[in-house]
Amino acid sequence: MNTKAPSPFLSVIVCVYNEEPNIRPLVEKIRVDLNGLDYELLYVDDGSTDGTLSALKAVMDERMRVVEFRKNYGQSAALAAGIAEAKGVYLATLDGDLQNDPADIPGMLRLAVDEGWDLVAGERANRQDGMLLRKIPSRIANAIIRKSTGVYIRDYGCTLKVFRSEVAKDMGLYGELHRFIPVLASLEGARITQVPVRHHARIHGQSKYGIGRTFRVVSDLLLMVFFRRYLQKPMHLFGTAGVLAFGVGVLINLYLLGLKLAGNDIWGKPLLILGVILLLGGIQLVTIGIITEIMMRTYYESQNKTVYRIRRIHPGSRD
């Protein structure tokens, strides 16, 4: 008779790409720091081209599993795979470069369990990175994201996080949205807090990220702002803008019609072109809003999704 193995209380997810020198020291540190916890260690090898996979196989034990990608898909895809494969009641994510410290995980886990937080995010209190190319751009980006999304996390770039499993699995992580995990969790109604965590300088290898990611972050931010404010009501964005543009176009064209009736020549005037553009643009925006509303209804109804999330149902007391 087949018996299903009990699920671990915690799944630790580490995504790596060409981190061969960091595999053994991080695995050994996790085993020491999480000693006494009921956990599994889940590594996702994101298409490494060095000896990362061999290094992982060399340190495997009964608590450890490795998900091997066929090629490099990126950090969001690796995290999504790790979350999908994780079996724990709670999930912890950390970088594979030894800059995050596994010793912070037990305290974050206690905070999540004892105080009922759905997501406990780490904040790199004494960040060991370059000031010009890493710290300053990160601070600016964090401030913009906080202001734009209304999710007030001080450090969006820290990978070290602890989630409740159901929240993590409902986030819909894809593209390059791993930078916006707190926003995605907030969309699911998660209770979020942040705590200071240790941060170490990289010893082996080089960072896979540079200043060139700025433009991708900005484009993803626009998507997050839309998700945060208009995901369930896209017509409020497109319809409002469309009606406003159409109304201004009508006023301009009525004004030009009055000039024409008064005997003035209006052909070729920039104001006429603007009026026509606003009229057509307004109609297009309203049409886009209607189509988007239909798509969102299809999204929810075809998959039996709801626009709400129930945390729990409290039963009434018995007499």
Q: Rounded to whole angstroms, how far apart are CA atoms 80 and 84?
A: 6
**Tell me, what's the pLDDT at 76?**
87
Q: Is the pLDDT of residue 37 over 90?
A: yes
**Tell me, what's the pLDDT at 18?**
92
**Tell me, what's the pLDDT at 151?**
86
CATH at residue 46: 3.90.550.10
- Pick from 196-205, 236-245, 293-302: least confident: 293-302
This prediction has a pTM of 0.75
Residues 186 and 247 in one domain: no
313 found inside a domain: no
Q: Is the pLDDT of residue 304 over 60?
A: yes
- Pick from 19-33, 69-83, 212-226: least confident: 212-226
**137 alpha carbon, distance to own chain's centre:** 19
Cβ-contact 185, 118 below 8 angstroms: yes
Q: Is the pLDDT of residue 1 over 50?
A: no
Residues 253 and 226 in one domain: no
Greater pLDDT, 231 or 278: 278
Residues 226 and 251 in one domain: no
**Tell me, what's the pLDDT at 113?**
95
Greater pLDDT, 12 or 198: 12
Greater pLDDT, 229 or 316: 229
Identify the band that residue 27 occupies on the pLDDT scale cut at 50, 70 and 90: very high
Number of domains in the chain: 2
154 found inside a domain: yes
Half-sphere exposure of 78 (CA within 13 A, CB side): 27
Q: Is the pLDDT of residue 312 over 60?
A: yes
Mean pLDDT of 159-175: 88
Residues 218 and 248 in one domain: no
Neighbours of 228 (CB within 10 A): 17
Mean pLDDT of 249-258: 92
Residues 204 and 286 in one domain: no
Q: Which domain, by its residues, includes 39?
A: 10-230
The residue count for the chain: 319
314 found inside a domain: no
**Tell me, what's the pLDDT at 147?**
83
According to DSSP, the residues that pair with 194 across neighbouring strands are 121
Pairing mode, strands 192-197 and 10-16: unpaired
Mean pLDDT of 211-237: 74
**Tell me, what's the pLDDT at 307?**
59
Cβ-contact 192, 117 below 8 angstroms: yes
Q: Rounded to whole angstroms, how far apart are CA atoms 239 and 245?
A: 10
Identify the band that residue 221 occupies on the pLDDT scale cut at 50, 70 and 90: confident
Greater pLDDT, 91 or 261: 91
The contacts of residue 241 (CB under 8 Å, 6+ apart) are: 285
**Tell me, what's the pLDDT at 294?**
85
Residues 93 and 209 in one domain: yes
Among candidate residues 188, 204, 230, the one where a domain is terminated = 230
Between helix 234-261 and helix 214-230 the angle, nearest 10°, is 90
Q: What percent of the chain shows pLDDT beyond 70?
A: 85
315 found inside a domain: no
What DSSP designation does 153 have?
-
**102 alpha carbon, distance to own chain's centre:** 22
Mean pLDDT of 286-302: 82
Neighbours of 284 (CB within 10 A): 14
Among candidate residues 230, 247, 276, the one where a domain is terminated = 230
Residues 226 and 239 in one domain: no
309 found inside a domain: no
- Pick from 25-39, 93-107, 174-188: least confident: 174-188
Residues 154 and 21 in one domain: yes
Residues 186 and 118 in one domain: yes
Q: Is the pLDDT of residue 311 over 70?
A: no
5 found inside a domain: no
113 found inside a domain: yes
253 found inside a domain: yes
Residues 86 and 20 in one domain: yes
Q: Is the pLDDT of residue 308 over 60?
A: no
From residue 168, give the alpha-carbon distance in Å to each of 10, 140, 295: 13, 27, 24
pLDDT tens across 74-124, in order? 888 899 999 999 999 999 999 998 899 999 999 999 999 999 999 999 998
Q: Is the pLDDT of residue 274 over 80?
A: yes
**Tell me, what's the pLDDT at 85?**
92
Residues 221 and 246 in one domain: no
Among candidate residues 213, 230, 247, the one where a domain is terminated = 230
Residues 173 and 292 in one domain: no
